[in-house]
Structure 1
Amino acid sequence: MIASSTAPAPRDGARADCVRVMVVDDSVVIRGLLSRWVEADPALQLVASHRNGRLAVEDIERSNPDVVVLDIEMPEMDGLTALPLMLRKKRDLIVVMASTLTRRNAEISLRALSLGAQDYVPKPESSSEVTTSVDFRRELIEKVKALGQRRRASGGFGGRQMRAQTTAGQTVSQGPVSRAATASAGYSRLAAAPAQAAPPALKTRPYSSVRPRIVAIGSSTGGPQALQQVFTDIGTAIREVPVVVTQHMPPTFTAILAEHVAKAALRPAKEAADGEILMPGHIYVAPGGLHMTVVKDGGQPVARLTDGAPVNFCKPAVDPLFDSVAKVYGSAVLAVVLTGMGHDGAAGIRTIAAGGGSVIAQDEATSVVWGMPGAAAQTGLCCDILPITRIGPKIAGLLSGGLR
């Protein structure tokens, strides 16, 4: 009988601080390929691989992985069934869902995020495409490393307390939000670890004195959960302004994300169409595989979709959106940078700040990965660095003309 799982011995030179990875996929070809990619990275250590969710659940405590790459469709026990069982055995486990780009799998992946998965990676359709896809390999390994290293550094999700230096010289403490306050949006595990020593203070700048006429949001890893929280908290405050969102996502996923956002916001939300007029109270999500910008056409703000080269390895990317809204709306822009890997959006907020607009960044404690919001915060051009539960209410207050 062929063994259905492996538990490799530590390779020569493997460090104790390597991220421990389990791969779960019913395809022996893909399972072997992903395992070799993990083993090839000196920051990662493959501790197990399994062909279905049942075997993975049974092995969680023995193998003790930091990160599990989990397929969705598998015999005996699929990924969505296995996910909560894994998290029950190890509540600070990082799970990255891997699925092909079908609508069903996209819906399951987003459902998995609400059940505790930290992220997803879209797989190419065939084994041969997986083998040759440089982008898939890069995205998978980058996410596994970023999520796993943050978990090991913080002893679980919790992060460090953040302090923002106001222009008046006052230090504002922004520590982790409570588990009770965030459980409904899937953030119950973000405050699992005790706060560590605070890093150096970050500078902020005053909000624009002009009431926002558009809200532009950029997000990536952890973004679907963060967007759900923000739009739930904003309530009806966006009824007088359009909202444009760039979330790093592939095609199919963005259409389903828009449906989820509509339910959270109780406002119309959809993938943007090229040339459509941006209407107050409506939410427009950049379609996967296309950049979204805002331009003036006949005196009206319209969405413009382009199939240009990736920006910051992303398409859609946040920087083109932020640059464009700054040009159209000037000091009436309110931009928000939520959790995500990399630094997309940091260049765009320089354009927004130069035009007099306002920027809010999510804090480190409640970010799944403090890459994008961290890069934004480091510019010193943000007006606030806030935990996720305070961002929606802050936006609502600014749109009503108060809370500056």
Structure 2
Amino acid sequence: MRDGLGGPERGGPRNAPAFPVVALVTSAGGLEALSAVLGGLAADLPAALVVAQHQDPEGPGLLAGILAARTRLRVRVADDGDLLEVGTVLVTPPARHLIVTSAGEVGLLETGDLPPSRPSADMLLATLAATCGPRVLTVVLTGKGHDAQAGIRAVHRCGGAVFAQDEASSAYFGMPGAAVRTGLVQRTLALDELASAIGVHVALTR
């Protein structure tokens, strides 16, 4: 039995977005990594993108504006109720976790005063995995700690793919290294190779 997206019914909910979704998750050193990846992507990339970088909850939230000047894609701060949109990068704001529903709608949750990491890559990836299934590509970039390790297990379980930045090009290999240790990363790539690999994967996922 097949769903309305042309794939197996087990690939995700019937009303899930009918396009690839790329999640870029990072922490320390992430601005440079995100700039390099997003700057290398085509303006007509047929995918929606979501960014979650650990940020100071009290910070000014400048990330989206900086990235918008460094990529040909549309970039904006995610708002509660936004829909995932092809060619658009939604950036998680400070002091919020971002989740995605089966209709491709964004929900923002207050992070509270204590960790987990803020925003939580694990929370984003788990909801994307459950709602978008094999259309999800997770890219784990430089960062401290092990956030995203649980989330990529969910992505893998639901048929999605996982890439990670390699140690040599990472400012901090904590997050990518934790991802690699799960054994679920399909490709570990240098920073300057990731944009091209994302483009190829998205083209094959459509």
TM-score when normalising by structure 2: 0.85
Decide which structure has the larger Cα Rg and report it: 1
- Report the alpha carbon displacement of residue 292 of structure 1 after superposing the two structures with TM: 0.5
Match of 2:20 in 1: 213
Give yes or no for contact 2:52–2:120 (8 Å, CA) kept in 1: yes
Partners of 1:218 and 1:372 lie apart in 2 by: 9
Give yes or no for contact 1:212–1:333 (8 Å, CA) kept in 2: no
Which of 270, 273, 281 is 2:87 aligned to? 281
- Report the alpha carbon displacement of residue 235 of structure 1 after superposing the two structures with TM: 2.2
Which of 318, 335, 356 is 2:138 aligned to? 335
SS state at 2:23 partner = strand
Give yes or no for contact 1:254–1:285 (8 Å, CA) kept in 2: no
CA RMSD of superposed structures (Å)? 2.1
Give yes or no for contact 2:44–2:73 (8 Å, CA) kept in 1: no
Q: Which amino acid is 2:132 matched to?
A: Y
Give yes or no for contact 2:57–2:118 (8 Å, CA) kept in 1: no
- Report the alpha carbon displacement of residue 251 of structure 1 after superposing the two structures with TM: 4.7
User: Is it true that 1:392 corresponds to 2:199 in the alignment?
Assistant: no
Where has structure 1 moved over 6 Å in runs of 4 or more? none
> Per-residue CA shift, 1:157-215, capped at 9, x if unaligned?
xxxxxxxxxxxxxxxxxxxxxxxxxxxxxxxxxxxxxxxxxxxxxxxxxxx9xx96100
User: Is it true that 1:344 corresponds to 2:147 in the alignment?
Assistant: yes
From the superposition, tell whether residues 215 and 356 of structure 1 become closer, same or farther in structure 2 (CA, over 3 Å): same
SS state at 2:193 partner = helix
How many positions carry a matched residue from both structures? 189
From the superposition, tell whether residues 212 and 352 of structure 1 become closer, same or farther in structure 2 (CA, over 3 Å): farther
Higher percent of residues as helix:
1
SS state at 2:101 partner = strand
SS state at 1:234 partner = coil
TM-score when normalising by structure 1: 0.45
Which of 97, 106, 110 is 1:291 aligned to? 97
From the superposition, tell whether residues 252 and 233 of structure 1 become closer, same or farther in structure 2 (CA, over 3 Å): farther
Give yes or no for contact 2:95–2:111 (8 Å, CA) kept in 1: no
Give yes or no for contact 2:49–2:87 (8 Å, CA) kept in 1: yes
Q: Which amino acid is 2:83 matched to?
A: I
Partners of 1:225 and 1:231 lie apart in 2 by: 10
Partners of 2:38 and 2:196 lie apart in 1 by: 10
Which of 58, 62, 82 is 1:256 aligned to? 62
Partners of 1:398 and 1:237 lie apart in 2 by: 14
**Mapping for residues 181-200 of structure 1, pairs under 5 Å:** none
Match of 1:360 in 2: 163
User: Is it true that 1:224 corresponds to 2:31 in the alignment?
Assistant: yes
**Mapping for residues 3-402 of structure 1, pairs under 5 Å:** 213-238=20-45, 240-251=46-57, 253=59, 255-296=61-102, 300-309=103-112, 313-401=116-204
Partners of 2:119 and 2:24 lie apart in 1 by: 12
> Per-residue CA shift, 1:16-50, capped at 9, x if unaligned?
xxxxxxxxxxxxxxxxxxxxxxxxxxxxxxxxxxx
- Report the alpha carbon displacement of residue 236 of structure 1 after superposing the two structures with TM: 2.3
- Report the alpha carbon displacement of residue 255 of structure 1 after superposing the two structures with TM: 3.5
From the superposition, tell whether residues 363 and 310 of structure 1 become closer, same or farther in structure 2 (CA, over 3 Å): farther
From the superposition, tell whether residues 337 and 312 of structure 1 become closer, same or farther in structure 2 (CA, over 3 Å): farther
Partners of 1:353 and 1:259 lie apart in 2 by: 32
Structure 1 runs not aligned, ≥5 long: 1-207
Give yes or no for contact 2:111–2:119 (8 Å, CA) kept in 1: no
Give the number of the structure with larger relative contact order, counting CA–CA contacts within 8 Å between residues 6 or more apart. Answer: 2
Q: Which amino acid is 2:37 matched to?
A: V
**Sequence identity, in percent?**
34
- Report the alpha carbon displacement of residue 237 of structure 1 after superposing the two structures with TM: 4.7
Q: Which amino acid is 2:81 matched to?
A: G
> Which shows bigger deviation, 386-395 or 261-270?
261-270
> Per-residue CA shift, 1:314-357, capped at 9, x if unaligned?
22110000001001110111000000000000000000000110
Give yes or no for contact 1:254–1:286 (8 Å, CA) kept in 2: no
Give yes or no for contact 2:41–2:72 (8 Å, CA) kept in 1: no
- Report the alpha carbon displacement of residue 217 of structure 1 after superposing the two structures with TM: 1.0
From the superposition, tell whether residues 398 and 314 of structure 1 become closer, same or farther in structure 2 (CA, over 3 Å): same
